[in-house]
Structure 1
Amino acid sequence: MTDAPNTLIEKQQAWYKAVAGVFARVQKKDVADIPLDIWQKLIKTTYDGIPINPLYNRADELEEAALPGVFPYRRGAAGVGQENQGWGVAESFDEKSTNQQVLDSLYNGTTNLVIQGSADIATLLNGVYLSLCPVRLFAGVRTVEQAKALFAVADSQQETPQLIELGATPLTSMVNGGATISLDDTIELAKQAAQRDNTRAILVDAVTFSNQGATDAEEIGLALAAGVEYLRALTDAGFTIEQALDQISFRFATTDEQFAQIAKFRAARQLWARVAEIVGAPEHGTCPQHALTAPVMFTQRDPWVNMLRSTVAAFAAGVGGATDVEVLPFDWAIPGGLPKTSRSFARRIARNTNLLLLEESHLSHVIDPGGGSYFIEAFTTQLADKAWEVFTSVEAEGGLQQAIAAGTVAKLLDDAHEAQRKDIARRIKKITAINEFPNLAEAPLPADLRVEPSRVRRWAAEFEALRNRSDAYMEVRGTRPAAVLIPLGPLAKHNIRTGFATNLLASGGIEALNPGQVTPGTEEFTTAAKSAPIAVICGTDQEYDATGKDAYEALRAAGVDTILLAGSPGHEFEPDGYLNMKIDAAATLAELLTKLGA
């Protein structure tokens, strides 16, 4: 009997051998012919160029980070021994909201209020104690007048407000053209805020960068650049560095990429503390760090899946140490929400997503749950390094405004967006219910709701545009555009590729007609061939070599316009195209829809 490995090196070698054994079985080779470093094929690389290993262990251990509540606040702003309440549950209200809705939300678990647009603040906050409930504005061009209204409410109450944030976003709004107040007006607002208790005027809204395609490192790096730009403007206006730091808050997007988001919030907090240290005020290196479930990940089709995405995203932000988390309603991407779905239901589900994580999963009982994880600690460090590179490159151009004016920021975001778009189009990056497992039987959205949210490059947009074409076709003709499958051989042999083709075609809104196994030369084959102008031959490679050419020629004889093969080249016949994991699925499906008249 072999002794179990007991040293780290021995354990690693044992794991390398085990991985090599798996590769040997899959490749049907002798394990001696498989190199021990074959495990490196399992490494995945993020869009920031960070390699993600398949396994982390003590060999990846870093120097122990400072305790929570201790500079550089990587592990959280709250210190050990302090009462831990977890993160705040944020919810937005606008001019359509009522005071009763606000009070009901607070009664049912909301802890942080976000007031958008031109809402009547005095009415909306009637009965709300600002000493117990942080309030943040997100009012765009109306920030100054809404701030006055909020100040009036605060002054009417005897207790000191817990936290008031005015949410001015002049720099980050430059990236997407969002309406906002000027930087000069923001500085004047900050002067007023500095004279009040627990009041901050400026929001570095990094969600803006995420909405335009930023990677995690780019989102952090550009946010740091915006924060430093504000520090310069404030100190030039006469603020001390401590006062300037105390006027700034951050908001980041959180996606369903769980570990990346945990690392993102930790890295962002650490790097802002580093900025505060550099400017001479490390003790002011913490500030509110808000999280918003990322608009880019929300889908219009099968929006119920957004509940799952939001749960993972909220979990990641909370575990990463966000001050508060706002979960958008699951049907956020649909103008006015999903038809026949009440707004109160959508808001309640969003709120309860946070509450389930906090109250039933007991995540609020632990500070920095990811602390000490070899993977999370290594990921945080690598992401921080990449984000600092982005920040310093922007600083080298003279700061964020200069980089925006030069087009550097736009190119950075365009390139990042295009890299992700290509992976989604090729189904390397998978979006459930969109480019994987779409529900073609789903009731179509009304035509007036098939529009894109403004200033957001959603991941699902390209595939959903194909689905929109399919819906418009069905509205005119009563059926969806369709392609017929030509299954060769028995079910056990063609089922994998008929399933693959059906799923792929459905992601573009094309119905797959499956007649079951057909044999060239039979009446059933001819009937199937004439049922659609596009045919997809499906079967095993062996079946293609045996009967594929006959099927191809029979389809041509039947007058089929376009013949595709589910698989790859290398057979005796050449179809018009291939359906496999390597194609640009979005482009292929768009071409097929055009051929079908959609």
Structure 2
Amino acid sequence: MTASDDPAAPRGADALRQAYDEWSEAAAGVLAKARKVSADELPDTAEALLSTTTGDGTVVRPLYTRKDEVAESGLPGQFPFVRGADPVRDVNVGWRVTERFGDEGGSAEEVNEQILDAAGNGTSGLWLKVDGGIGADGIATALRGVYLDLMPVTLDAGAEGIEAARAYLEARVAAPVAPQAAPSTIANVQSLGLSPYTAQFSGRATVDVDAATALAADAPEGVRTFRVDGTDFSQAGANNPQELGLSVAAAVAHVRDLVAAGRSRAEALGQITFGVSVDDDQFAGIAKLRALRTVWARVADVLGEPDAGAAVTHAVTDLAMLTQRDPWVNMLRSTVAAFGAGVGGADQVTVLGYDAALPAGERSSSASFSHRIARNTQLLLLEESNLGRVLDPAGGSWYVESLTADLAAAAWDVFTEVERRGGYQTALSDGWIGEQIAESLAARDLRVAHRTAPLTGVSEFPNLDEAARPAGTAQTVDLATATPKLARVARQFEALRDRADAARTRPSVLLLPLGSVAEHNGRTTFVANLLAAGGISAINPGPIEPDQIAGLTAENAATVAVLCGTAKRYASDGPSALAAARAAGVDRVLLAGPDREWPEATDRCDGSLRVGIDAVATLTELLDHLTDGGSVSA
């Protein structure tokens, strides 16, 4: 007899409660064993101890069960559009692989060659840089030979937006028509890309709002005028609820303008597309797109037009997450971001080049190579992993549904607070939006500095053998998608690396390993990686005795040393090693590990290198000492 056959076995809610209690007891036992205490001595429940809080305040629990079920959210293409905006999406195509053109300059003819080549190699959507590139008068040439009824186009024309929009609409009329008609789907929506409200925040060149609103009155079917670009907020440091809530607030401001100009509410809602940033947190990316559709559908419902509430989304891999150091790791970041965007139901996805954070002159690969890698990242997801063949594959997951609901609720709170303050324009002009994002950026910077938000190749496992970058270029990003308020996640550590590279000789610190390799290896490795994150080399002579310290100090001209060992070894050999280092003239002696491991009632080290410290502040202080204290001349 199985448990389910036993008439006395608990069922329904009772069975769920019993299963949860059994899991909780088992998890508490493991936690207690790891902490070397009894389960009764744990400070909280197993679920609470294993839960984590994301940077935007969302609590992620270790276990999701049937009690976390949410109401059915309908089918893709049906209100409230959580599961997708498109009811007739072609699963053989999936989302649109939208490639960006015009950033590298070149004539309209050259851009046209690039577009046609890309179209023959998997690109199914175009994002065209106009201002500072081909210009409005080059649009027709750049799009020559392109089936614009099949290939959705998004313009990025900045201050030339009105002229570019008119030029594009003329080119669209004259464009060849595909032999086989394209289905009328959201995937084929064209965007004139005008972003006056979000660009006002980020400082990008843009167009006059009234002129853009007037242009929208003449937009033909299948063409949307406004692109509410959430990347304007995310690049400045906005968290996910802020990006979504502020994007919706800006979109509502456009809707009000359009209604005031004589458009119906449904028509006004149909003039908006959304640009959404996605980073390497795949579940957050999935939930972010689902939450945006949820919130926008709710806005449409409040306006009395629920059927017009399908948000058209263009997901773009986050430029702020890309690093200048060890840029090859960006390929992994972008792959995860694209995965999240696709699974989350983005209508179009753009993967930026893996080297996009570097100035053009410092990129080791050609632009065509970077474009191909970005394009093929999506094609592998679509054509080998078949991610586009299932609509909303994460739907029904207790975790994803809960995360979506939490994020949508947080975004709605941001949106309603903006409305309470008088709307988007007022909240922007009185500085509230800037203040909120500045607070979010400061919190993110703190997490990065303490390495609770680790960056592979930058704050973790850095490569000191990389070629030095030109001085003064740490924040330089040539890519036109960069806004004046771009605050890259890695910028604090990369500024330290640039500073260390600018020294005549690389700054170095002497390690003083105590005991056997087994005793010190974990901490010498930790310290070496921590120092390398600031561009500082760790000199590891292997296990040492106190009487060797004077010679090692003189040989390496060391002014800073780090004692590395176990608490037991610190108790036996630490004081004598510290005394020897001081006698040898070492200015600062640091401890690898927490201060509590050092024996009491003895001379103490000058600081400690351990998990959880403000690594940026510590490394900055070390560089100050090493470059100004005589060990290294800058």
Report the TM-score range of the alignment, normalised by the length of the smaller protein: over 0.9
Q: Residue 415 of structure 2 is aligned with which of 391, 400, 409? A: 391
Hey, what's the Cα distance between the residues in 1 that align with 2:538 and 2:89? Answer: 60
The answer on whether the counterparts of 1:229 and 1:399 sit within 8 Å (CA) in structure 2 is yes
The answer on whether the counterparts of 2:91 and 2:389 sit within 8 Å (CA) in structure 1 is no
Q: Is 1:270 paired with 2:288?
A: no
Hey, what's the Cα distance between the residues in 1 that align with 2:329 and 2:231? Answer: 21
Q: Which moved more, 1:535-544 or 1:31-40?
A: 31-40
Structure 2 match to 1:174? 200
Q: Residue 439 of structure 2 is aligned with which of 404, 407, 415? A: 415
Structure 1 match to 2:161? 143
Q: CA deviation at 1:449?
A: 4.8
Structure 2 match to 1:113? 126
> 1:394-416: CA deviations, max 9, x gaps?
00011111001111000100000
Q: Residue 594 of structure 2 is aligned with which of 542, 552, 568? A: 568
Q: CA deviation at 1:81?
A: 8.6
> 1:435-485: CA deviations, max 9, x gaps?
111111122233475443343110000000000011111xxx2x3110010
Q: CA deviation at 1:86?
A: 1.4
Q: Is 1:99 paired with 2:112?
A: yes
Indicate how the Cα distance of structure 1 residues 350 and 367 shifts in structure 2: closer, same or farther if over 3 A, else same. same
Q: Residue 312 of structure 1 is aligned with which of 322, 336, 346? A: 336
Q: Residue 358 of structure 1 is aligned with which of 359, 382, 385? A: 382
The answer on whether the counterparts of 1:99 and 1:126 sit within 8 Å (CA) in structure 2 is yes
Normalised by the length of structure 1, the TM-score is: 0.95
Q: Which moved more, 1:348-357 or 1:440-449?
A: 440-449
Q: Is 1:579 paired with 2:592?
A: no
Q: Residue 66 of structure 2 is aligned with which of 58, 78, 97? A: 58
Indicate how the Cα distance of structure 1 residues 57 and 281 shifts in structure 2: closer, same or farther if over 3 A, else same. same
CA RMSD of aligned residues (A): 2.0
Q: For 1:124-139, list aligned pairs within 5 A.
A: 124-139=142-157
Structure 2 match to 1:76? 84
Q: Residue 460 of structure 1 is aligned with which of 490, 501, 504? A: 490
> 1:301-325: CA deviations, max 9, x gaps?
0000000000000010111111110
Q: CA deviation at 1:83?
A: 5.0
Structure 1 match to 2:541? 515
The answer on whether the counterparts of 2:297 and 2:311 sit within 8 Å (CA) in structure 1 is no
Structure 1 match to 2:53? 45
Structure 1 match to 2:631? none
Q: CA deviation at 1:546?
A: 1.1
Q: For 1:193-342, list aligned pairs within 5 A.
A: 193=219, 196-336=220-360, 338-342=362-366
The answer on whether the counterparts of 1:136 and 1:166 sit within 8 Å (CA) in structure 2 is yes
Hey, what's the Cα distance between the residues in 2 that align with 1:47 and 1:390? Answer: 16
Structure 1 match to 2:522? 496
Name the aligned partner's letter for residue 457 of structure 1: A
Hey, what's the Cα distance between the residues in 1 that align with 2:464 and 2:570? Answer: 29
Hey, what's the Cα distance between the residues in 2 that align with 1:518 and 1:37? Answer: 45
Hey, what's the Cα distance between the residues in 2 that align with 1:55 and 1:178? Answer: 43
The answer on whether the counterparts of 1:267 and 1:383 sit within 8 Å (CA) in structure 2 is yes
The answer on whether the counterparts of 1:486 and 1:528 sit within 8 Å (CA) in structure 2 is no
Name the aligned partner's letter for residue 610 of structure 2: N
Q: CA deviation at 1:33?
A: 4.5
Unaligned 5+ runs, structure 2: 183-187, 478-483, 628-633
Hey, what's the Cα distance between the residues in 2 that align with 1:373 and 1:461? Answer: 35
Q: CA deviation at 1:526?
A: 2.9
Structure 1 match to 2:480? none
Hey, what's the Cα distance between the residues in 2 that align with 1:451 and 1:420? Answer: 17
Indicate how the Cα distance of structure 1 residues 278 and 3 shifts in structure 2: closer, same or farther if over 3 A, else same. closer
Q: Residue 527 of structure 1 is aligned with which of 546, 552, 561? A: 552
Unaligned 5+ runs, structure 1: none
Indicate how the Cα distance of structure 1 residues 80 and 197 shifts in structure 2: closer, same or farther if over 3 A, else same. closer
Hey, what's the Cα distance between the residues in 1 that align with 2:153 and 2:49? Answer: 49
The answer on whether the counterparts of 1:515 and 1:528 sit within 8 Å (CA) in structure 2 is no
Hey, what's the Cα distance between the residues in 2 that align with 1:36 and 1:583? Answer: 25
The answer on whether the counterparts of 2:81 and 2:294 sit within 8 Å (CA) in structure 1 is yes
The answer on whether the counterparts of 1:263 and 1:379 sit within 8 Å (CA) in structure 2 is yes
Normalised by the length of structure 2, the TM-score is: 0.90
Hey, what's the Cα distance between the residues in 2 that align with 1:158 and 1:284? Answer: 30
**Percent pairwise identity:** 46
The answer on whether the counterparts of 1:16 and 1:36 sit within 8 Å (CA) in structure 2 is no
Hey, what's the Cα distance between the residues in 1 that align with 2:500 and 2:464? Answer: 10
Name the aligned partner's letter for residue 171 of structure 1: Y
Name the aligned partner's letter for residue 100 of structure 1: E
Hey, what's the Cα distance between the residues in 1 that align with 2:374 and 2:314? Answer: 16
Q: For 1:426-437, list aligned pairs within 5 A.
A: 426-437=450-461
Structure 2 match to 1:13? 21
Q: Is 1:543 paired with 2:551?
A: no
Hey, what's the Cα distance between the residues in 2 that align with 1:415 and 1:109? Answer: 41
The answer on whether the counterparts of 2:85 and 2:312 sit within 8 Å (CA) in structure 1 is no
The answer on whether the counterparts of 2:148 and 2:176 sit within 8 Å (CA) in structure 1 is no
Name the aligned partner's letter for residue 605 of structure 2: P
Hey, what's the Cα distance between the residues in 1 that align with 2:559 and 2:239? Answer: 41
Hey, what's the Cα distance between the residues in 1 that align with 2:89 and 2:588? Answer: 69
Name the aligned partner's letter for residue 417 of structure 1: L
Q: CA deviation at 1:341?
A: 1.0
Structure 1 match to 2:630? none
The answer on whether the counterparts of 1:168 and 1:202 sit within 8 Å (CA) in structure 2 is yes
Q: CA deviation at 1:225?
A: 0.3
The answer on whether the counterparts of 1:256 and 1:309 sit within 8 Å (CA) in structure 2 is yes
Indicate how the Cα distance of structure 1 residues 18 and 225 shifts in structure 2: closer, same or farther if over 3 A, else same. same
Indicate how the Cα distance of structure 1 residues 290 and 80 shifts in structure 2: closer, same or farther if over 3 A, else same. closer
The answer on whether the counterparts of 1:519 and 1:525 sit within 8 Å (CA) in structure 2 is no
Hey, what's the Cα distance between the residues in 2 that align with 1:431 and 1:243? Answer: 44
Q: Which moved more, 1:568-577 or 1:127-136?
A: 568-577
Q: CA deviation at 1:32?
A: 5.4
Name the aligned partner's letter for residue 16 of structure 1: S
Q: CA deviation at 1:10?
A: 2.0
The answer on whether the counterparts of 1:331 and 1:337 sit within 8 Å (CA) in structure 2 is no
Q: CA deviation at 1:100?
A: 1.1
